[in-house]
Amino acid sequence: MGKADDPRERGSFVRPATTSPTIRRARAGEARGDVGGVTTSAKHRRVAAPTRAARSSSLDNMKSMIELAAQRLAIRPWQANDAPALSVAITESIDHLRPWMSWIATEPRSLAERQSMIARWEKERRAGGDMVFGMFIGAVVVGGCGLHRRLGPDGLEIGYWVHAAHVRRGYAARVAAMLTSVAFSFQEIGLVEIHCDRANHASQGVPRRLGFALVGQQTKPVQAPNETGLQDVWRVTRSDWMRDA
Ligand SMILES: CC(C)(COP(=O)(O)OP(=O)(O)OC[C@H]1O[C@@H](n2cnc3c(N)ncnc32)[C@H](O)[C@@H]1OP(=O)(O)O)[C@@H](O)C(=O)NCCC(=O)NCCS
């Protein structure tokens, strides 16, 4: 996740507004049954009988898809031995992440740098600071996410990225829902926000899907190639989140 946990410079509030949130949660994504890309639509198709080799290879593919589907999306703090898999995930996603993630400018990092970064995240989390997590399905790294203390003592800001090969499966939305619940497990936290550049439509889909309210916009120094310098601020309060639980 690189410098994703660095405190971002906060700009001025430009346009306050409120939208009544309807919390739909990303749990809908779990019901969609799309983990691992397994769908049932193919079972009704009529196809020619496969050769023995094709049959064996498709059985192997199906086995790995079913194994992936059986495993749940999980978040947990990065561990030192995740460093190689994290490096691979970032390398494979670099073109997808570069437009929006400023920390990509510091990639590639050596394994030793990655391990010391993970050690720093661990120290920060244990000291009550930012909480940086990996997103996993089984042992597969599908992204990174975090809860950042950029909003003062009563707020936490969610950040996320998803591996290029795993986007559009509801993972970011599901993880953001998990992180929101984690955030409100801290008694002092009264609000959770997601800040997305105005032009980052993929990212805006996440708080929108969860029923966060669009409460305003902020200016922010441009730090990644596609950023406009104007961020939408999406928010959910403890009472709204708990009411719809
Ligand atoms: C933004 C990002 C994390 C979304 O991850 P994801 O797992 O594909 O998102 P989800 O599948 O959970 O989608 C959540 C919602 O956003 C919408 N969405 C996702 N990608 C989208 C896209 N490219 N264009 C438009 N909408 C999109 C989905 O349709 C979904 O809404 P819906 O349920 O109403 O249809 C991913 O694209 C990414 O890693 N981008 C690069 C890094 C980044 O921008 N991070 C955020 C910085 S603020």
**Span 186-209, pLDDT tens digits:** 999 999 999 999 999 999 999 999
| Percent over 90 (pLDDT), the chain | 69
Look at residues 140, 135, 131 and name the one whose alpha carbon lies nearest to residue 158. 131
DSSP label at 13?
Answer: B
pLDDT above 80 (res 26):
no
* Nearest atom in ligand 1 to 175's CA: 12
Mutate to test the pocket of ligand 1, among 90, 206, 212 (most ligand atoms within 8 A of CB): 206
CA distance 201 to 182: 25
Quick one: pLDDT at residue 221?
A: 97
Reported pTM: 0.80
Quick one: pLDDT at residue 245?
A: 74
DSSP label at 86?
Answer: H
pLDDT above 90 (res 24):
no
- 3-state SS class at 245: coil
Instruction: Quickly state the pLDDT bin for 232 (edges 50, 70, 90).
Output: very high
More reliable by pLDDT, 40 or 74 = 74
Q: Is 4 left (phi over 0), alpha (psi -120 to 50) or beta?
A: alpha
Question: Domains along the chain?
Answer: 72-244 (3.40.630.30)
* Nearest atom in ligand 1 to 169's CA: 11
Mutate to test the pocket of ligand 1, among 90, 163, 166, 167 (most ligand atoms within 8 A of CB): 167
Contact 154/190 with Cβ under 8 angstroms?
yes
DSSP label at 35?
Answer: G
Average pLDDT, the chain: 83
Residue ID of nearest Cα to ligand 1 atom 25: 202
How distant, in Å, are the alpha carbons of 27, 70, 216 from that of 31? 7, 13, 31
More reliable by pLDDT, 47 or 238 = 238
Instruction: Quickly state the pLDDT bin for 5 (edges 50, 70, 90).
Output: very low
pLDDT above 60 (res 19):
no
Contact 27/174 with Cβ under 8 angstroms?
yes
Contact 207/194 with Cβ under 8 angstroms?
yes
pLDDT 10s digits, 67-113? 666 679 999 999 999 999 999 999 999 999 999 999 999 999 999 99
Structure tokens at 166: 């795993």
Residue ID of nearest Cα to ligand 1 atom 43: 161
Structure tokens at 2: 């690189």
Structure tokens at 173: 């939305």
